[in-house]
Chains A and B, each alone.
Chain A
Amino acid sequence: MSGIHDFTLASARDALKARKISAVELTNAHIDAIERLDGQLNSFITRTPDQARKAAKASDEALAKGEGGSLCGIPLGIKDLFCTNGVRTTAASKILGNFVPPYESTVTANLLKDGAVFLGKLNLDEFAMGSANLTSAFGPVENPWKRKDSDAKLVPGGSSGGSAAAVAAGLVLGATGTDTGGSIRQPAAFTGIAGIKPTYGRCSRFGTIAFASSLDQAGPMARNLQDCAILLESMAGFDPRDSTSVDTPVPHYEAALKRGVKGLRVGIPKEYHVEGMPAEIEALWQQGMTWLRDAGAEIVEVSLPHTKYGLPTYYIAALAEASSNLARYDGVRFGERVSAPTLDGLYEASRAAGFGDEVKRRILIGTHVLSSGYYDAYYLRAQKVRTLIQQDFLKAFENVDVLLTPTAPSSAFAQDEKPSDPVQMYLNDVFTVPASMAGVPALSVPAGLDARGVPLGLQLIGKFFDEETLIAAGHAIEQAAAFHHRPTIHAGVSA
Chain B
Amino acid sequence: MSYRITGSTGEWEIVVGLEVHAQVVSEAKLFSGASAEYGGEPNTHVSLVDAGFPGMLPVLNRECVAQAVRTGLGLEAEINLFSRFDRKNYFYADLPTGYQISQFAHPIIGKGKVLVDLADGSTREIGVTRLHLEQDAGKSIHDQDPTRSFIDLNRAGVALMEIVSEPDIRSPEEAGAYLRKLRQILRYIGTCDGNMEEGSMRADVNVSVRKPGETEYRTRCEIKNVNSIRFVMMAIEVEAQRQIEVWEAGGTVDQETRLFDHVRGETRSLRSKEDAHDYRYFPDPDLLPLVIEQAWVDELKAALPELPEAKRARLEQEYGVSRYESSVLCVEQAIADFYETVARGADARLAANWMLGDFFAALNRTGRSIENSPVSAEGLRELLGLISNSTINGKIAKEVLEDMVETGDSASAIVERKGLRQVTDTGAIESAIREILAANSDKVEEYKGGKDKLFGFFVGQTMKAMKGKGNPALVNETLKKLLSE
Binding site for B on A (CB under 8 A): 82-83, 89, 91, 96, 99, 101-103, 105, 205-210, 212-214, 240-244, 320-321, 323-324, 327-328, 330, 332-334, 343-344, 347, 367, 370-372, 375, 379
Contacts and interface: CB of A to CB of B under 8 A. Distances in A.
B278 A372 contact: yes
A479 B278 CA distance: 55
In the A-B complex, the 6 residue pairs with the smallest Cβ-Cβ separation, listed nearest first, are: A327-B98, A214-B285, A370-B280, A213-B285, A207-B55, A328-B52
B288 A343 contact: no
Interface in B77-107: 87, 89, 91-93, 96-99
Contact of B89 (A205, A324, A343): A324
Nearest to A335: B54
Nearest to A351: B91
Which of A82, A332, A372 is most buried by chain B, counting CB atoms within 10 A of its CB? A332
B285 A212 contact: yes
Given A244-B288, A330-B91, A379 B98 contact: no
A462 B53 CA distance: 34
Interface in B81-138: 87, 89, 91-93, 96-99
A96 B52 contact: no
B436 interface: no
Interface stretch (B56-64, B223-231, B371-379, B385-393): B56-64
Interface centre among B87, B151, B287 (most CB of A within 10 A): B87
Given A210-B55, A244-B286, A347-B91, 8 more contacts: A91-B54, A103-B48, A208-B55, A209-B54, A328-B96, A330-B98, A332-B96, A371-B278
B97 A328 contact: yes
A333 B51 contact: yes
A302 B54 CA distance: 41
A347 B48 CA distance: 21
Contacts of A343: 92-93, 149
Contacts of A207: 55-56
B319 interface: no
Nearest to A332: B93
Give chain A's interface secondary structure class: loop
B287 to A, nearest CB: 5
A89 B57 contact: no
A332 B55 contact: no
A411 B287 CA distance: 37
Contacts, number: 99
Contacts of A370: 89, 280-282
Given A208-B55, A209-B55, A243-B60, A324 B99 contact: yes
Contacts of B60: 243
Nearest to A91: B54
B58 to A, nearest CB: 7
B54 A240 contact: no
With most chain A CB atoms within 10 A of its CB, the pick from B149, B281, B282 is: B282
A240 B52 contact: no
Nearest to B280: A370
Most buried by A among B54, B58, B91: B54
**Which of B51, B59, B97, B98 is the most central at the interface, judged by chain A CB atoms within 10 Å of its CB?**
B98
Contact of B54 (A89, A242, A344): A89
A379 B282 contact: yes
Interface in B26-78: 48, 51-60
A364 to B, nearest CB: 13
B49 to A, nearest CB: 9
Contact of B282 (A83, A91, A103, A320): A320
A332 B48 contact: no
6 contacts: A103-B48, A243-B58, A243-B286, A333-B52, A334-B53, A367-B280
A83 B55 CA distance: 7
- The residue among A105, A212, A327 with the most chain B CB atoms within 10 A of its own CB is A327
Contacts of B280: 323-324, 367, 370-372, 375
B151 A327 contact: no
B55 A206 contact: yes
Contact of A101 (B52, B53, B99, B278): B53
A323 B282 CA distance: 11
A344 B51 CA distance: 19
Contacts of A91: 54
A321 B285 contact: yes
B91 A96 contact: no
Nearest to A348: B91
Contacts of A214: 285
Nearest to A368: B280
Interface string B137-152: 0000000000001010
A254 B55 CA distance: 29
A333 B58 contact: no
Nearest to B51: A333
Nearest to B92: A343
A212 B93 CA distance: 23
A332 B58 contact: no
Nearest to A216: B285
Nearest to B59: A243
B87 A324 contact: yes
Contacts of B57: 205-206, 241-243
Given A243-B288, A327-B89, A332 B151 contact: yes
Contact of A328 (B54, B149, B286): B54
Nearest to B279: A372
A240 B53 CA distance: 18
Nearest to A347: B91
B55 A105 contact: yes
A243 B84 CA distance: 13
Nearest to A328: B52
A377 to B, nearest CB: 14
A436 to B, nearest CB: 13
A103 B48 CA distance: 9
Contacts of B288: 243-244
Given A96-B54, A209-B55, A333 B285 contact: no
A334 B97 CA distance: 12
B59 A333 contact: no
Contacts of A240: 59
Contacts of B282: 320-321, 324, 370, 375, 379
Contacts of B92: 343
A343 B87 CA distance: 22
Interface in B280-339: 280-282, 285-288
Contact of A324 (B98, B151, B287): B98
A439 to B, nearest CB: 12
A99 B54 contact: yes
Name the residue in B52, B57, B59, B60 with the highest tally of chain A Cβ atoms < 10 Å from its Cβ. Answer: B57
Nearest to B288: A243
A327 B51 CA distance: 13
Nearest to A83: B55
Interface in B447-471: none
